[in-house]
Structure formats: structure tokens, C-alpha cells
Amino acid sequence: MKKEMERRKQNFEMTRIEKEKQKIITGQIKDIVETEFLDTMLKNKKVICHFYHKDFERCKIMEKHLEIIALTHGETVFVRIDAEKTPFFTTKLNIKVLPTVVLFNDGKAYDRIIGFDELGLKDDFPTINLTRRLVKAKIINAKNKSESGEVSITKRYGKNMNDDDDLDY
């Protein structure tokens, strides 16, 4: 009986620790180092990996947007890795421009976002641009029509829209 209680206590403790680890990963971006890279990519189905440099302003901007997205998209693991301290994977994945966000599914890199080219070409692009790009890549699930890029067009008419005089060609 004592052994069984001890076994259950250990299982409970392990479950609690696993839940704590999951809390850390879900809703935030986890910093990883080169030795954790492969393990992280292979043990998680969907991973968004941000290659950054600590002194680059655009990397900080990308980080800000990814943090906002990570809060509502716990189905995907968000990680970041310092490109300067990861020469092997930076070379292997052909990372030449920072920031670069590489998307992994089942341990395989299948898509990437390089710089801000697809996001509006401006430093102050809206987070929804990045969110829609990630939804399009199927790395995160759309939470609403705005995230999926579905736009509803509402027609607005003036007071005299029944007037045929508006059809001037």
C-alpha cells in the first residue's frame, strides 16, 4: 500500500511538472540554444522559430508581434534563437537576413518569413498581417474571420440611392 501511494505521488508530481513546463511554453516565446534546437523541433508538431540578433531593431519589432500572437495561439510552440550564437543551424537553414521566422511541422522546415517584405514593408506593420500570414501557412489556426483574412464588405448607400441619375458615365 505504501509503495502504491509513493508511486501515485511521483506520478502526480511528474504530471504537475509537465503542466508547469507546458504553461511556460504556451502563450509566450521560449528562448532556446543550439543544443535544444533539434529536440524542440522534433518533439513538437508545430513550431515557429524566430532567428534574431539582440541588437537589431527589426528583430525586436518581430518579437513584439510574435509575443502578441503567441498569447492566443497555444496550439503552436513559439521559440526564438540567437542567430549569432547558432552558426550551425543558421548556415544549415540558409538564414541570411534577420529577422527570419522559420515554420516547422513535424520537425521539418517548410516555410519562412524573411524580414518585413510580406508584412507591409514598414516597421509599423499591424500584427494582423503577421497573424494572417501564419494562418495562411497553416502553422496557427484562425480564431476569427479577421485572422483568416475573410473580409466582409458592407455596402453603404446615400439618401437618394434609388435615384438613377447617379449612373453618369
What's the CATH code of the domain at 94?
3.40.30.10
Residue 66 located in a structural domain:
yes
Q: How confident is the prediction along the chain (169 residues), in pLDDT tens digits per residue? A: 777 777 776 766 655 555 545 444 556 899 999 999 999 999 999 999 999 999 999 999 999 999 999 999 999 999 999 999 999 999 999 999 999 999 999 999 999 999 999 998 899 999 999 999 999 999 999 988 888 887 655 666 655 555 555 554 4
Total domains, the chain: 1
- The grid coordinates listed for 1 are 500500500
Q: Classify residue 136: in a domain, yes or no.
A: yes
3-state DSSP percent of the chain in helix, strand and coil, to 5: 45, 15, 35
In a domain, 13, yes or no: no
Using DSSP's 3-state secondary structure scheme, residue 51 falls into: strand
Cβ contacts of 82 within 8 Å, gap of 6 or more: 33, 52, 53, 54
**Is 18 domain-assigned?**
no
- In this prediction the pTM is 0.74
- Domain assignment present for residue 62? The answer is yes
